[in-house]
């Protein structure tokens, strides 16, 4: 069998010619599928290569929902910097996302969502839409039917309070003195996930200041009873967690009236320093839009004028989150994903047979190497002695590298034959060591922090939207285990603990929960390749249960799909939904790793991908298959529809990556890390 050798790892990878010759030993029907797959791989490879930036990275649009666009307009209104062109472009996008029933959803073909609809409605009012316009009247009627503003989430009511549309005293209290809590005290800021932490710290300043800008219009039409806009909310039983925290909130409201002024002022100044110290080089905070928005408001309330370098850089960074569409609409990305997209694209292209020393893969490798973070961040609060070495998700986010990106970048770098292998080995060694150091007590890995599992933050009345902690998840843990296996560390005790945790987390039906992708298909598509890479045979009971589950949820058209409703209604929606290219790719990656290449399920899945590919080599995917917070905040990664189908088809045509490496080669791959740890 003809093969090429990956010089960075010693892995033997089959060439296109070798894969084609293998079809001579298959049935005519299978040979036809193989031919269709090979054709799809060539077209998808050309398409993906054409989308690389000249600097070496890939980045697809990161689509969420219109709250990003609405809050951007509300921020500009609050700061007094709204301009007609920006407002109209944003309004054009928001109007275009409205559903037939007058509502706005948080994901494609999802149900109308109250807070999202309220924020979209208010943004359109700012843009000049009249409450009597048919689309606005339909929206306001639906809002009232759902309980009006009083039934919306806390974050929506905070935005409305900024303009006097809601009373600050009717919002949960968030004291800035929280910044002084040591890490051993419950509800200190490091008990929150990094995304929540970056948002809560500036909001403590906003909550303390309680600013109100003159409202440009009333919002009586959004209350069920305008004469009682803030109806009293019932208290939960005192013996319940919710009841306990509601009563704590009442105590905090009382404390506000007697809080020593010097202490409060000092706490706000300390919080401001914390915020400024974490501003990234591009002006943003954490590489994501929400903390940037609240940080700008908080600093402005403390006297930072709009021409201050911190404020100017922050506002400029927000403009870089804007995506202009062909119709003139302006969509705001909640975040940007160049590191994630680039490592996934590199893996896809390498697994599709692109030579390991292809100039575009080398350029991608160079760019990823330049993005490694070599200074401590907030993660070091829990791991003060751990040397840095991770990668972040975004262009600029040195404070918060994440474990998932680091694992996938290492897997991508291992697939490229770089002209400076020593540089690559050092970078990989740092990344692997950092990931190992970020393992939680239970043997698994979260996304950003270690043991970020406190039960208290999610109980706060303030935290009624999305996840605010970062516990270990099956998908992140699987990616780390797969990376460690490729690095020759399958038998390392830390890897084995991760494997044992994954086996214990398998659902009764054979699937795994997906925290950062939708949902059980993503979890299963992540875990099975990791377990087999780590040495579990395809005959292992856990693998067989996963295969049986994937086969049971395959759609009649041959593809796989899962709706975001599986996060809320597990039994009805687990593994169920319209077929998508990315989710079909995940299912195929799991089945191929389990040794099911010759199965009918794989054949039908490959056929579906080949049949739904566009002429230019791409796939269409309007459905959201990623998450920020399961159910509450959904993401459509526009590059997912390209990289995961190509990865799956490439492995179908060329075989599993690293499958031919000997035990000695795997051990050799782990040697640089062992030497680094010993030195």
- Active-site positions read 404
- Is 382 in contact with 190 (CB distance < 8 Å)? yes
- Is 119 in contact with 159 (CB distance < 8 Å)? yes
DSSP label of 5: E
Residues in the chain: 679
Q: Which residues pair with 452 in a beta bridge?
A: 470
Distance, CA of 162 to CA of 122 (rounded, Å) = 13
268 CB-contact burial (10 Å; exposed 0-12 / middle 13-18 / buried 19+): buried
End-to-end Cα, the chain, rounded Å: 41
Distance, CA of 214 to CA of 216 (rounded, Å) = 6
b/e burial code for range 41-63 (CB count within 10 A of at least 16 → b): bbbbbebbbeebeeebbbbbebb
Distances in whole angstroms, Cα of residue 118 to Cα of each of 74, 107, 492, 525, 568: 12, 16, 52, 36, 22
Distance, CA of 347 to CA of 594 (rounded, Å) = 19
Distances in whole angstroms, Cα of residue 642 to Cα of each of 59, 554, 563, 589, 675: 11, 20, 19, 14, 38
State phi, psi for 12 to the nearest 5 degrees.
-100, 120
Nearest to 593 by CA among 508, 645, 640, 657: 657
Distance, CA of 249 to CA of 254 (rounded, Å) = 9
Distance, CA of 389 to CA of 372 (rounded, Å) = 6
Q: Give the position of tokens 């919710």.
A: 242
């Amino acid at each position: 069998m003809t093969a090429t050798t990956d010089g960075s790892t010693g892995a033997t990878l089959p060439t296109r010619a070798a894969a084609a010759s293998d079809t001579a030993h298959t049935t005519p029907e299978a040979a036809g599928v193989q031919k269709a797959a090979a054709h799809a791989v060539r077209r998808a490879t050309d398409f993906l290569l054409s989308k690389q930036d000249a600097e070496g990275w890939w980045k697809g649009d990161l689509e969420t929902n219109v709250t990003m666009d609405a809050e951007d307009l509300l921020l500009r209104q609050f700061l007094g910097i709204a301009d007609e062109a920006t407002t109209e472009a944003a309004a054009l996008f928001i109007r275009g996302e409205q559903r037939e029933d007058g509502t706005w959803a948080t994901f494609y073909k999802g149900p109308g969502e109250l807070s999202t609809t309220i924020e979209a409605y208010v943004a359109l009012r700012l843009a000049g839409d009249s409450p009597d316009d048919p689309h606005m009247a339909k929206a306001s009627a639906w809002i009232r039917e759902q309980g009006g503003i009083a039934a919306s989430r806390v974050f929506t009511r905070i935005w409305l309070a900024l303009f006097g549309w809601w009373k600050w005293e009717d919002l949960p209290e968030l004291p800035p003195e929280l910044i002084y809590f040591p890490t051993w005290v419950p509800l200190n800021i490091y008990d929150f996930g990094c995304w929540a932490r970056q948002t809560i710290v500036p909001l403590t300043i906003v909550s303390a200041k309680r600013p109100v800008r003159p409202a440009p219009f009333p919002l009586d039409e959004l209350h069920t009873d305008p004469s009682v806009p803030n109806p009293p909310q019932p208290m939960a039983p005192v013996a319940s967690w919710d009841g306990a925290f509601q009563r704590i909130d009442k105590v905090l409201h009382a404390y506000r009236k007697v809080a020593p002024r010097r202490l409060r002022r000092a706490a706000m100044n300390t919080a401001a320093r914390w915020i400024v110290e974490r501003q990234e080089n591009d002006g943003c905070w954490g590489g994501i839009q929400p903390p940037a928005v609240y940080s700008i408001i908080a600093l402005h309330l403390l006297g930072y004028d709009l021409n201050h370098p911190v404020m100017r850089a922050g506002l400029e960074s927000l403009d870089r989150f804007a995506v202009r569409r062909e119709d003139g609409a302006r969509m705001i990305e909640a975040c940007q994903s160049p590191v994630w997209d680039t490592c996934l694209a590199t893996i896809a292209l390498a697994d599709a047979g692109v030579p390991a020393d292809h100039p575009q893969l080398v350029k991608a490798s160079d760019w990823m190497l330049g993005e490694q973070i070599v200074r401590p961040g907030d993660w070091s609060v829990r791991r003060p002695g751990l040397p840095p070495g991770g990668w972040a998700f975004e262009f600029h986010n040195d404070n918060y590298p994440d474990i998932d990106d680091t694992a996938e970048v290492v897997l991508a770098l291992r697939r490229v034959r770089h002209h400076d292998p020593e540089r690559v080995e050092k970078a990989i060694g740092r990344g692997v060591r950092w990931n190992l150091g970020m393992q939680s007590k239970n043997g698994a890995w979260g996304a950003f922090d270690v043991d970020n599992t406190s039960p208290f933050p999610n109980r706060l009345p303030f935290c009624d939207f999305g996840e605010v902690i970062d516990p270990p998840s099956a998908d992140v843990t699987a990616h780390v285990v797969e990376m460690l296996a490729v690095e020759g560390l399958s038998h390392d005790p830390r890897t084995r603990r991760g494997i044992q945790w994954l086996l214990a987390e398998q659902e009764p039906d054979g699937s795994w929960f997906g925290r950062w992708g939708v949902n059980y298909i993503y979890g299963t598509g992540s875990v099975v390749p990791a377990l087999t890479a780590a040495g579990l045979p395809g005959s292992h009971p856990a693998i067989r249960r996963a295969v049986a589950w994937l086969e049971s949820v395959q759609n009649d058209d041959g593809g796989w799909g899962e709706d975001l409703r599986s996060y809320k209604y597990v039994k009805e929606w687990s593994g169920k939904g319209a077929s998508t290219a990315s989710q079909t790719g995940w299912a195929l990656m799991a089945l191929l790793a389990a040794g099911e290449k010759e199965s009918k399920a794989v054949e039908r899945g490959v056929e579906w991908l080949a049949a739904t590919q566009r002429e230019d080599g791409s796939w269409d995917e309007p459905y959201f298959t990623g998450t920020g917070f399961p159910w509450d905040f959904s993401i459509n990664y526009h590059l997912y529809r390209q990289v995961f189908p190509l990865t799956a088809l490439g492995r179908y045509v060329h075989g599993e990556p690293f499958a031919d490496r000997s035990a000695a080669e795997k051990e050799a791959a782990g040697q640089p890390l062992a030497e680094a740890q010993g030195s």
